[in-house]
């Protein structure tokens, strides 16, 4: 996954559902932090869709304990032949430990450097700064914020467009009901990754569409 084009990822902690994602998804985001015996499930995976592996830490909305075991699990995961991308938080990379990034690239695995704000949408300048920093450290800089108003979504889309015009690869989305439409619209402004559960009841972030719905919306918008 080079993310030259938009990638729609089916989000799951259960890789056995991958066949149900094939019709609509380009990849699967495997949530190690939510999986029951995630390592064994990954070792047994023989599906068709490439994997983006995430082991989200508790302080950024996941269930994984803090380093070093969490990062070590990601380092092992990138060695799996089906894993083509790995997600790591910007805050974790800022500590100066680039071992995961280097290990991933040794195995030809793309790195998504991510930021999640479950409280608010930062001001416009901060949005751009975060996207630039994340994109410079990773192959894609991901920014998910919480929108309270349409103005919040507009600020995020503007930052997305600006980053894309500057040659940065970014993935953006506004969480919450006020930002729900951003998941369908952001690809028009340059966002390279979308996330959706196969089953609406399995959403891992506020405001997610289910996979089939998001695929339909994005395809319709891109044809217009």
Distance CA 177, CA 169 (A): 25
Extended beta strands in the chain, E state: 7-12, 27-31, 51-54, 83-89, 110-116, 140-146, 170-175, 193-197
Length of the chain as a residue count: 224
Residues classed as catalytic = 116, 142
- CA angle, corner 160, sides to 154 and 166, nearest 5? 140
Residue 132 and residue 163 in contact, taking contact as beta carbons nearer than 8 Å: yes
132, with CB counted inside 10 A (0-12, 13-18, 19+), is: middle
Q: Is the dihedral of CA 164, 192, 117, 86 positive or negative?
A: negative
Residue 39 CA to residue 69 CA, distance in Å, equals 12
Q: Is 53 helix (H, G, I), strand (E, B) or coil?
A: strand
Q: 11 — phi, psi (to 5°)? A: -95, 130
């Amino acid at each position: 996954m080079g993310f030259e084009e938009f990638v729609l990822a089916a989000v799951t902690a259960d890789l056995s559902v991958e066949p149900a994602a094939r019709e609509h998804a380009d990849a699967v985001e495997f949530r190690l932090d939510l999986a029951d015996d995630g390592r064994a499930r990954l070792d047994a995976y023989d599906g068709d869709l490439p994997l983006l592996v995430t082991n989200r830490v508790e302080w950024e909305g996941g269930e994984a304990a803090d380093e070093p075991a969490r990062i070590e699990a990601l380092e092992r995961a990138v060695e799996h032949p089906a894993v083509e991308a790995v997600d790591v938080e910007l805050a974790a990379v800022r500590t100066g430990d680039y071992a995961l990034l280097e290990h991933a690239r040794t195995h030809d695995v793309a790195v998504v450097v991510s930021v999640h704000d479950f409280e608010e949408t930062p001001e416009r300048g901060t949005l751009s700064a975060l996207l630039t920093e994340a994109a410079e450290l990773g192959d894609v800089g991901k920014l998910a914020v919480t929108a309270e108003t349409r103005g919040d979504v507009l600020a995020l889309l503007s930052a997305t467009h600006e980053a894309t015009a500057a040659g940065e690869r970014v993935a953006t989305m506004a969480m919450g009901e006020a930002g729900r439409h951003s998941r369908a619209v952001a690809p028009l402004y340059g966002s390279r990754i979308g996330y959706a559960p196969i089953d609406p009841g399995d959403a891992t972030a506020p405001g997610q569409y289910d996979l089939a719905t998001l695929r339909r919306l994005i395809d319709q918008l891109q044809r217009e």
